[in-house]
Amino acid sequence: MMTMKSHIKNLTVQTTLFGQSVAKAIPKTLECSVVELTSNWLTEPSLQELVDENINSTRPVDNNLGK
């Protein structure tokens, strides 16, 4: 039972360290870009309208795919 507990504890520590390493590896400019894109999406209705238009547009179909 103690061996299992120590394995779980070691795995938890490793997972935490891995998560911290990944967080440090993400460039700050990328984080800022995500925040800016989200902000633009929420504040500019024209972007949302553009996406709505593209969702409802017809898609090209290749009839030769089934042959």
Q: Mind listing the pLDDT tens digit for each residue in 51-66?
A: 888 787 787 888 888 6
In a domain, 32, yes or no: yes
Whether 32 and 39 have beta carbons less than 8 Å apart is answered as no
CA distances (Å), origin 38, targets 6, 43, 46, 65: 42, 9, 14, 37
pLDDT at residue 18, rounded to an integer = 84
**63 belongs to a structural domain:** no
Residue 52 lies in a domain: yes
Domain span at residue 26 reads: 4-56
Number of structural domains found in the chain: 1
Confirm whether 61 is domain-assigned: no
User: Is residue 67 pLDDT above 70, yes or no?
Assistant: no
Whether residue 62 lies inside any domain: the answer is no
Q: Is residue 19 part of a domain?
A: yes
